[in-house]
């Protein structure tokens, strides 16, 4: 099968000008959740995939309409996902399965659940739980932080509206999932959830291997293989690649788009995290420049689906300072496109000035 995996993936990730979405919910559903490990830069992930993006649109979808919700799921990392599919994501990825917890910790978590009558920050949880536990002042915040994550992994609590103004979050707040999303269907089983997740994954990340899906979802390869065996998918042969690749039955490929402009993706963007084998977007000799120790993933520069360099920004007062590092020297036209994107990002981030350094 002759197929341009890079271009297909790029367009399915809504990054081409002709495949962008019209609203945040469409983005989150189309690409199986948007990585939200960085509270600020997640706005750039949506901006890169939408026509006429406004920060207010994402905030409205998250905190007013509540058609999107933020929580830990794939790989135990934060994502913004469709609220209607919340329990599908939580039951399919089940990030709590790897936690071995004591009875004391479980009891502590139950005490925390009883104090929620409104969205709370971690510091507010500490204040409310203090007289209900014998933990020391040193250990209490640590236990609260662990309990919040564990309960989030279980799908019992979710992120509520944060404290802070504009695009910059000062402190996160958490709330009970049953209160935040009272009308979401709880009935889906783990088996059904995993089948649905695989089919959704193949819609935007396929063709993909069993190992790719396991990596993306954060599950064991043998579990992923079992899910593939339980779903009607079709195997496709990719020219030059020996591994078995799969797509949804009847999947159609549209890669007939002209070359597109430069895209600057933020750290941990879903585009970078979609496959274990990243050869469709990264040359092997450059992977170590993107994936750093301590699970750090750099922001990337994309041209026609391929990663051609990295970039980073730092806010200093009313100025954003950018550092751009192409893997090799770029011509003036490409540099001009990078400059144009940086100017747009400065506007999206609500800052008036930018510089290089």
> For 52-94, how does the pLDDT look when each residue is reduced to its tens digit (9 = 90+)?
999 999 999 999 999 999 999 999 999 999 999 999 999 999 8
| Phi/psi at 252 (5° precision) | -115, 145
Q: What residues make up the domain containing 305?
A: 262-356
| Phi/psi at 296 (5° precision) | -80, 135
Residue in the block written with tokens 């209900």: 132
Q: What band does 274 get if pLDDT is binned at 50, 70 and 90?
A: very high
- Residue 299 is predicted with a pLDDT of 98
Specify if 7 maps to a domain: no
Q: In terms of Cα–Cα distance, which of 276, 213, 344, 299 is closest to 35?
A: 299
- Residue 326 is predicted with a pLDDT of 97
Q: What band does 237 get if pLDDT is binned at 50, 70 and 90?
A: confident
> Pick from 180, 207, 225: which residue ends a domain?
180
- Residue 120 is predicted with a pLDDT of 97
pLDDT at 95 over 80: no
**Mean pLDDT across 274-302:** 95
- Residue 265 is predicted with a pLDDT of 98
Q: Between these two residues, 269 and 255, which has the higher pLDDT value? A: 269
**Mean pLDDT across 114-139:** 96
> Pick from 180, 206, 238: which residue ends a domain?
180
pLDDT at 99 over 50: yes
pLDDT at 252 over 90: no
d(CA 277, CA 209): 9
Q: Between these two residues, 311 and 171, which has the higher pLDDT value? A: 311
- Residue 277 is predicted with a pLDDT of 94
- Residue 170 is predicted with a pLDDT of 76
How many other CB atoms are found less than 10 A from the CB of residue 136?
9
DSSP alpha helices (H): ranges in the chain? Answer: 5-12, 24-30, 42-47, 55-59, 86-93, 103-115, 122-129, 140-153, 177-180, 190-205, 210-217, 221-229, 287-290, 332-348
Contact assessment for residue 112 and residue 125, using Cβ atoms and an 8 Å cutoff: yes
- Of the CA atoms within 13 Å of residue 275, those in its CB half-sphere come to 22
**Mean pLDDT across 36-47:** 91
Instruction: Give whole-number Cα distances, 92 to 111, 153, 155, 223, in Å.
Output: 27, 11, 11, 11
**Mean pLDDT across 192-199:** 98
**Mean pLDDT across 118-132:** 96
pLDDT at 179 over 90: yes
Q: Residue 311 is part of a domain; what is its CATH number? A: 3.40.630
Supply the mean pLDDT for the chain.
Answer: 93
Specify if 231 maps to a domain: no
Longest dimension (CA), the chain: 66
**Mean pLDDT across 140-156:** 96
d(CA 111, CA 25): 34
Specify if 137 maps to a domain: yes
Long-range residue pairs from 121-127, CB within 8 A, at least 24 positions apart, any chain: 121/163, 121/171, 121/172, 121/173, 121/174, 122/148, 122/171, 122/172, 122/174, 123/171, 125/174
pLDDT at 122 over 90: yes
- Residue 254 is predicted with a pLDDT of 66
Specify if 209 maps to a domain: no
Return the exposure string of 208-222: e unless at least 16 CB atoms fall within 10 Å of the residue's CB, then b: bbbbbbbbbbbbeee
Q: What band does 2 get if pLDDT is binned at 50, 70 and 90?
A: very low
pLDDT at 318 over 90: no
d(CA 298, CA 265): 9
> Pick from 180, 207, 233: which residue ends a domain?
180
Specify if 2 maps to a domain: no
| Phi/psi at 158 (5° precision) | -140, 170
d(CA 46, CA 145): 28
Both structure tokens of 175: 């709330």
Specify if 171 maps to a domain: yes
- Per the structure, the count of domains in the chain is 2
Q: Residue 137 is part of a domain; what is its CATH number? A: 1.10.10.10
Specify if 288 maps to a domain: yes
| Maximum average pLDDT range among 166-180, 195-209, 244-258 | 195-209
Q: In terms of Cα–Cα distance, which of 152, 92, 84 is closest to 122?
A: 152
Specify if 32 maps to a domain: no
List, in order, residues 6 or more apart from 336 with CB less than 8 Å away.
none
**Mean pLDDT across 99-117:** 94
> For the purposes of burial, counting CB atoms within 10 Å of the CB of 56, is it exposed (0-12), middle (13-18) or buried (19 or more)?
exposed
pLDDT at 1 over 50: no
d(CA 306, CA 283): 9
Q: What band does 194 get if pLDDT is binned at 50, 70 and 90?
A: very high
Q: What is the pTM of this model?
A: 0.94
């Amino acid at each position: 099968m002759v197929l341009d995996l890079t271009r297909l993936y790029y367009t399915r990730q809504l990054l081409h000008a002709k495949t962008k979405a019209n609203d945040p919910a469409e983005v989150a559903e189309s690409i199986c959740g948007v990585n939200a490990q960085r509270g600020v830069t997640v706005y750039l992930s949506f901006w890169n995939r939408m026509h006429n993006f406004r920060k207010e649109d994402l905030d409205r979808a998250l905190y007013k309409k509540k058609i999107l919700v933020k929580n830990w799921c794939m790989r135990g990392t934060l994502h913004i996902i469709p609220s209607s599919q919340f329990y599908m994501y939580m039951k399919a990825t089940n990030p709590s399965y790897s936690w071995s917890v004591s009875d004391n910790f479980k009891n502590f978590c139950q005490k925390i659940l009883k104090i929620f009558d409104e969205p709370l920050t971690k510091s507010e949880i500490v204040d409310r739980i203090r007289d209900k536990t014998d933990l020391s002042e040193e250990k209490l915040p640590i236990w609260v932080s662990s309990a919040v994550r564990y309960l989030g992994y279980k799908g019992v609590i979710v992120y509520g509206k944060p404290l802070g103004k504009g695009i910059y979050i000062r402190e996160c707040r958490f709330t009970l999932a049953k209160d935040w999303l009272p009308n979401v269907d709880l009935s889906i089983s783990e088996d059904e959830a995993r089948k649905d997740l695989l089919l959704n994954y193949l819609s935007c990340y396929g063709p993909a291997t069993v190992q790719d899906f396991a990596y993306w979802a954060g599950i064991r390869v043998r579990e992923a293989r079992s899910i593939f065996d339980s779903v009607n998918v079709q195997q496709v042969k990719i020219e030059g690649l020996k591994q078995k690749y799969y797509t949804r039955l009847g999947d159609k490929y549209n890669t007939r788009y002209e070359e597109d402009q430069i895209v600057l993706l933020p750290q941990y963007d879903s585009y970078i995290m979609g496959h274990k084998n990243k050869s469709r977007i990264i040359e092997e000799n450059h992977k170590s420049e993107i994936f750093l120790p301590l699970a750090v993933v750099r922001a990337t520069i994309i041209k026609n689906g391929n990663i051609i360099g990295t970039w980073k920004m730092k806010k200093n007062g009313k100025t954003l300072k950018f550092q751009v590092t192409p893997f090799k020297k770029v011509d003036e036209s490409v540099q001009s496109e990078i400059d144009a994107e940086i100017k747009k990002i400065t506007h999206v981030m609500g800052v008036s000035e930018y510089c290089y350094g």
